[in-house]
Amino acid sequence: MADKTLSAEERAGRAFPVSWDQFHRDCRALTWRLNEIGPFHAVVAITRGGLVPAAIVARELGVRVIDTICIASYDHTKQGELQVLKGISADTAQLGGGTGKGLLIVDDLVDTGKTGRMVREILPDAHFATVYAKPKGRPLVDTFITEVSQDTWIFFPWDTALSFAPPLRDGAA
Ligand SMILES: O=P(O)(O)OC[C@H]1O[C@H](OP(=O)(O)OP(=O)(O)O)[C@H](O)[C@@H]1O
Ligand SMILES: O=c1[nH]c(=O)c2nc[nH]c2[nH]1
Ligand SMILES: [Mg+2]
């Protein structure tokens, strides 16, 4: 049984650090795929992690209508109850005909799929794209670029900073 005293990051065990450069390249690769599926009336970013890929994807696709759906679940690395803090605007809802048809939802990743499931309930006909996907969340995503194992924690460039790494012979992992 999973140890509830450990954070998701501690349970993950493995680390997958992503640089800005890598993230930008992965977002562009995602857009190549999405470009074959669109056009989309608007991009809906799941904040906050979806804001960065949404900006890059919208720029590449030439989409200028961008909205947000604001969901909070993880307090740093512990996932709690999902809270929708803000939904999409009436204008965006109208563009998607009420069910999200022709809208592109963007997030940085799916992990357990809890966030994605909630967004799918709100906009069932929207296209859901993430840059990274872990196996549990993968079935919820229409398009993604890289799958990482469930026991991996992805470190995004906006959550990290460059720091000194001791040489391997001094015991660094
Ligand atoms: O598939 P799940 O297990 O639901 O996890 C994925 C979600 O978790 C993270 O967001 P978080 O709630 O940490 O908020 P943030 O985007 O503001 O960092 C991430 O950006 C996804 O939105
Ligand atoms: O920065 C993050 N990395 C992850 O792997 C993850 N999973 C859920 N939420 C997450 N946030
Ligand atoms: Mg998020």
Ligand 3 (ion): residues with CB under 5 Å are 49
Task: Specify the pLDDT at position 76.
Answer: 57
What's the CATH number where 67 sits?
Answer: 3.40.50.2020
Task: Specify the pLDDT at position 55.
Answer: 98
Strand 66-75 with 78-86, pairing? antiparallel
ipTM summary value = 0.98
Task: Specify the pLDDT at position 53.
Answer: 98
Tokens of 41: 């009336």
The predicted-structure confidence for 98-124, as pLDDT tens digits, reads as follows 999 999 999 999 999 999 999 999 999
Task: Specify the pLDDT at position 74.
Answer: 67
pTM comes to 0.93
Backbone angles phi and psi of 5, in degrees to 5 = -80, -15
Strand 42-47 with 66-75, pairing? parallel
Task: Specify the pLDDT at position 24.
Answer: 98
Residue 43 lies in a domain: yes
Residue from 74, 75, 76 to probe ligand 1 pocket by mutation (most atoms less than 8 Å from CB):
74
Task: Specify the pLDDT at position 157.
Answer: 98
- Which residue, 31, 26, 52, is CA-closest to 132? 26
Please give the residue range of the domain that contains residue 48. 14-162
DSSP 5-23: TS-HHHHH-EEEE--HHHH
Indicate the residue type of 173: A
Task: Specify the pLDDT at position 140.
Answer: 97
- Number of domains composing the chain: 1
**Residue nearest atom 11 in ligand 1 by C-alpha distance:** 74
Rg of the chain over Cα atoms, rounded to whole angstroms, equals 17
Catalytically active residues are 107-108, 111
Residue ranges at the known binding site for Mg(2+) = 108
pLDDT under 50: residue ranges of the chain: none
| Alpha carbon of 97 to ligand 2 centroid (Å) | 31
Residue 3 lies in a domain: no
